[in-house]
Amino acid sequence: MRLLKAALKKSNVELSLKTFIESLSIFVLYGLLFTLVGSILGVKATSFLAIFGAAGIAIGLALQGSLANFAGGVLILVFKPFKVGDLIYVNSNLGFVKNIDILYTRIKTFDGRIITMPNGNVANSDVDNRTMDPLRRIDLKLKFAFDIKMETIRPIILKALKAHPIVEKDPEPDVWLDEIGESEIRVTARCWVKSEDYWPTYWEQLEAVKSSLDKQGIETPIPRRIIYQGGEYKTSESLPKQKN
């Protein structure tokens, strides 16, 4: 065990995996010790194999769920789809990984909740690791009236995006017409930042774009409807305005 601990200390194995390997090694070594002592005392090795086999079957049936979590924990620790400190989205939960044990993974959400998830479920689910890549793209969804031209709003939005000090220069921010809706055009403004700066920068960029558009007098579009009356039709804009 001293040799094993020294070897693990020099390796780059995760702390949780080191603890698991040490515990498993103790169990295996004690099993070998009992087998060896029994052989010296004249007990046949086949008897020990039968005992260990029966014990293994009984334990396996009693701990089916825990064994699935155990196997999931080993897969997570070996293949590392995420590590402590990563921001992940799994099983409809978004949070930072606080701890990875052999049986459970704990994450902390943005509102301070600690969620404990069985590793079996985590290992068999799609894991969205949002901090594995060093860069992450911010997408701002904006709406404008039909009569607004892209040539007018694109330079305003780009100037606001590029003014932020930590926005990446490569790839450069961009602004594109994304969709034509029923009563407005929908524009997507994008820029790249470091993954750990995503949320603060997202809110700051949204406020900066809104402020820049307000200064230029560009407002949010108002839904328009056509009303038919007595063989004629009138738009909602042409109808008399009601007094409050």
For the segment 89-133, what is each residue's pLDDT rounded down to a tens digit? 999 999 999 988 878 899 999 999 999 999 989 999 999 999 999
pLDDT at 244 over 60: no
pTM: 0.64
The stretch 73-91 carries a mean pLDDT of 89
Q: Give the chain's end-to-end CA distance (angstroms, integer).
A: 83
Domains of the chain, earliest start first: 2-62 (no CATH), 78-129 (2.30.30.60), 135-215 (3.30.70.100)
Q: Which comes out higher in pLDDT, residue 59 or 34?
A: 34
Beta strands in the chain (DSSP E): 87-90, 93-100, 104-108, 114-118, 128-129, 135-144, 174-180, 185-194, 226-229, 232-235
Q: Return the closest-CA partner of residue 89 out of 104, 71, 107.
A: 107
Q: Of the segments 19-23, 46-50, 150-154, 231-235, which one has the largest average pLDDT value?
A: 150-154
Q: Which residues neighbour 158 within 8 Å (Cβ) at sequence distance 6 or greater?
A: 173, 174, 175, 189
pLDDT at 58 over 90: no
Q: Return the closest-CA partner of residue 100 out of 125, 72, 128.
A: 72
What is d(CA 139, CA 110) in angstroms, rounded to the nearest whole number?
20
Give the pLDDT score at 1. 84
For the segment 147-159, what is each residue's pLDDT rounded down to a tens digit? 899 999 999 999 9
Do β-strands 128-129 and 174-180 pair in parallel, antiparallel, or remain unpaired?
Answer: unpaired
C-beta neighbour count of 186 within 10 angstroms: 14
The stretch 227-234 carries a mean pLDDT of 63
The stretch 43-58 carries a mean pLDDT of 68
What is d(CA 185, CA 151) in angstroms, rounded to the nearest whole number?
14
Share of the chain above pLDDT 70, in %: 82
